[in-house]
Amino acid sequence: MALDAVFGEPEEIWSRVPHPAVLMGRAVGWFDRVLNTGGAARGRGILACAALVFAAFSLGEALAAMPGPFAEILVAAVLLAQRSLVDHVRAVARGLRQSLAEGRRAVAMIVGRDTGAMDEVAVARAAIESAAENLSDGVTAPAFWFLIGGLPGLLVYKIVNTADSMIGYRTPRHEGFGWASARLDDLMNWLPARLTALLIWLVAGRPGPWREIASEARLHRSPNAGWPEAAMARALDVALSGPRAYHGEMRDFPWVNPEGFREIGAAAVEAACAMLWKAWAAGFCVVLVLAWT
């Protein structure tokens, strides 16, 4: 966690060799091209998911068996994403301070929704939501599964999360084939998402009763993403979620913390970055306590 927080994703390294996440994406893409054809899409998807999990677990076992702790430490640091998450979210704040177009360009790198017609408020809201969700997916969950299962657990989580992000959508092509990956990702993120919300709630000062966060989290379309989003909305006292466009279609999602501030911009995005570091620090302290227990 400390190595990731200090060094992040050094461009001089990953511009020369492919990042492990890129290699995972290629593996998922290969299974999608080869197996996602013809009938029995769900069965083929289950087979693909099982093969990816087996390969990730086996690779984790092999790396963990190497002499000394350095391979484990370096791989774990590479697969955590705190520093890069903060950098990407902060880039949205910087972009908004330059122009709306720059803010849209920066937020398009971290969200899947349509960004071309976003106003400043929508850009800021999207950045904060992505910050909260990816704190869980990119930091808490990898650290949790590394703590529980070592490198095999960490690599299995990362390949499942990558598969979900690529084929876990309810589209005509992937609704059946991506079903197993999406459901396994939901399962593996169930506890980390709630732990992330708890960390944000603990460091936020006065974010309101936990039951309000729990109630609003259940309104989210995802069984997990709503928890860190609801906690972040309360911590910053801003309204999140709400209507947004995907693939040219407006979708009317319920608001999270609807009484919070809605006229937000770069300052709110910066506040979210500060909250990411506070939650990270709380998690780091928990890990330290566990390490010496």
Per-residue pLDDT of 51-82, as tens digits, reads: 999 999 999 999 999 998 999 999 999 999 99
Euclidean distance between CA atoms 182 and 175, whole angstroms: 9
Confidence class for position 176, pLDDT limits 50, 70, 90: very high
Closest among 193, 9, 3 to 87, alpha carbons compared: 9
Q: What is the mean pLDDT of residues 100-107?
A: 96
Number of domains making up the chain: 1
In this predicted structure, the answer to whether residue 196 has a pLDDT above a threshold of 90 is yes
The predicted pLDDT at position 113 comes to 82
pTM of the model: 0.94
The secondary structure of residue 261, as a DSSP letter, is: B
Two tokens at 116? Answer: 């071309």
Q: Is the pLDDT of residue 246 over 80?
A: no
Place of tokens 């939501």: 129
CA distances 178 to 24, 141, 157, 169, 171, Å, are 15, 20, 16, 7, 9
248, pLDDT greater than 70: no
Domain hosting 108: range is 2-291
Q: Quick one: angle between helices 179-203 and 41-64, nearest 10?
A: 60
Average pLDDT, the chain: 93
CA separation, residue 25 to residues 52, 139, 185, 219, 233 (Å): 11, 18, 15, 30, 31
Q: What is the pLDDT of residue 207?
A: 62
What is the Cα–Cα distance from 47 to 143, expressed in whole angstroms?
Answer: 27
Q: What is the mean pLDDT of residues 96-121?
A: 92
For residue 247, the model assigns a pLDDT of 66
